[in-house]
Chains A and B, each alone.
Chain A
Amino acid sequence: MWVSSTKWKVISPIAAILLWQLLASAGLLGKTPSPWQAVEGIWFLIDTGLPPGYRLWGHAGASLARVLAGFAAACLVAVPIGVLMGWSKHLDAVLDPLVEAVRPVPPLAWLPFAVLWFGIGLVSSSFIIFLGVFFPVLLNTVSGVKSVDPRLPEAARTLGASEATILGRVLVPGASPSIITGIRIGMGIGWMTLVAAEMTGVKSGYGLGYMILTARDYARYDLVASGIIVIGLLGFAMDTCIRLVEKRLLRWR
């Protein structure tokens, strides 16, 4: 080990970007934009916008709102259902086949129905993100609850806890490491489904995924790269936030 792992965290992305720039400068990448062009593109998006007038903050804000809405809804639905499924063998037996049948369907396949049910707008694209986030959170919650030491709810029972108390105060905290892992995976998938989600059409004209499609339409591949970088940075920032929360919440580990 000649460098510490924290140093690697900084070195590896910088090295990747340098390599990318080198290859681009050497003309080996053809029409693929260089990192410098992508950065210039980000400036263009801040300054002029794409389509002109639709600036980066608007796109980022709209996407963030969609991702957060879909993500929050998915967590709010998936965690309680997952806790109940992990707690009750009967409910698990009833719901598990359903979950396993729906889970492999790519979120994009729901697109026509999303438009039919929710129209084109925030709800529709959030729904697509919801589908991406829902299953990892659900499955991790179920397995987290199932892996809680069975003596803990028993101990709680002998201490006078009701079943509802046990769900909330024993199974949820016991499953929390697994739930948070699910949430982190879900958040990543949420961003991944963003471009697909924004293909449902966005009424406002704002959205990073939508902007990437627009950049494609305008043959501005540099702006496509800029959009990818912005999504990557936002995804990274959100993952960092979740990790911080995780660190606080799971101090006991």
Chain B
Amino acid sequence: MEIKAGREPLLELRSLSKSFVEARTGKVLEVLSDVDLRIAPGTFTCLVGPSGCGKTTLLRIIAGLETATAGEVLLEGSPVTGPGPDRGLVFQEYALFPWRTVLKNVTFGPDVSGETRAGAIADARELLETMGLSTHEDLYPRELSGGMKQRVAIARTLAVKPKVLLMDEPFASLDAQARNAMQEFLVELWLRTGATIVFVTHSVDEAVFLGQEVLGLSRRPARIVQRFTCDLAYPRNRTDPGFTALRARILEYLKQELVDDHA
């Protein structure tokens, strides 16, 4: 898989800036500054950046949950004005509806958009099947492990067939083993479906394992300071020399960037 230059981008951010006004102090907090980004369809893009730099804010703006102070977000050429099922957001803390069973969490989107019940249920069952959750469809979220919850959350988002999947550190709260399993699962899912994924993380290791392209963000206010292309074959192997070399390069670069930033 290659990023094909010149192809129409699916998602485009044009000089996006965002600042918050702190309610208590009235101080203006600049979070994003002049972010430009083009995401081609079917690509897997990872964003890495230090804690608090504005990664979540960036995804929330794309999702339409937050409005940019300047600049715009275009999806297939038309500007984004609010949240909608064409951009699916997977939250770090799952954000499942605790009063709905696994199956009903997955059918929430189809339900509210007036899809027929039977069709929605059949589709959801199919999704759960691929997620390995078939036997859990009648359980409530509190009865699931972290990894299972995150798979339900992904299934719930996929059920509305979004054009782009936005994932905000979805595996951060899992233990190392579960996280590795989920990463492998996600790669497999992407290869199978050809979805367009924008994945935020602050783990360089995770970014290199998943993405075709890794974008390095600066500290707040976040800008895209570097692009790395990872043309390693999937599925990737963490002990592969190519892998470790690339990871080391990105880490080094980011460290440098941060030091420079401070100086």
A interface list, Cβ under 8 A from B: 149, 151-152, 154-162, 165, 169-170, 173-174, 176, 250-253
Contacts and interface: CB of A to CB of B under 8 A. Distances in A.
Interface of B: 63-65, 82-85, 87-89, 91, 93, 95, 97-101, 108-109, 112-113, 140-142, 156-157, 160
A152 B160 CA distance: 16
Given A159-B108, A169-B112, A252 B85 contact: no
Contacts of B109: 159-160
Given A154-B83, A252-B140, A253-B142, A160 B97 contact: no
A156 B101 CA distance: 15
Given A165-B112, A169-B112, A253-B142, A158 B84 contact: yes
Contacts of A151: 91, 93, 95
User: Chain B at the A interface: mostly helix, strand, loop or mixed?
Assistant: loop
A204 B108 CA distance: 51
B95 A154 contact: yes
Nearest to B84: A160
12 contacts: A149-B95, A154-B65, A154-B83, A154-B89, A157-B82, A158-B88, A159-B85, A160-B85, A160-B109, A252-B141, A253-B98, A253-B142
B140 A251 contact: yes
Most buried by A among B87, B89, B112, B160: B112
Contacts of A174: 97-99
A170 B97 CA distance: 8
A157 B91 CA distance: 13
Nearest to B87: A158
Most buried by B among A152, A155, A157: A155
Given A159-B85, A159-B112, 18 more contacts: A151-B91, A151-B93, A155-B89, A155-B91, A157-B64, A158-B83, A158-B84, A158-B88, A159-B109, A159-B157, A160-B84, A169-B108, A169-B112, A173-B97, A174-B99, A250-B99, A252-B100, A253-B142
Contacts of A169: 108, 112
A169 B107 CA distance: 13
Given A155-B89, A252-B142, A161 B112 contact: yes
A121 B219 CA distance: 70
A155 to B, nearest CB: 4
Contacts of B160: 159-160
Contacts of B87: 158
A5 B144 CA distance: 30
Sorted from nearest, which 8 A-B pairs have the closest CB atoms? A160-B85, A159-B109, A151-B95, A157-B83, A252-B140, A161-B112, A155-B95, A173-B99
A159 to B, nearest CB: 4
Contacts of A156: 108, 112
Contacts of B100: 252
A120 B67 CA distance: 57
Contacts of A161: 108, 112
Most buried by B among A159, A160, A250: A159
Contacts of B142: 252-253
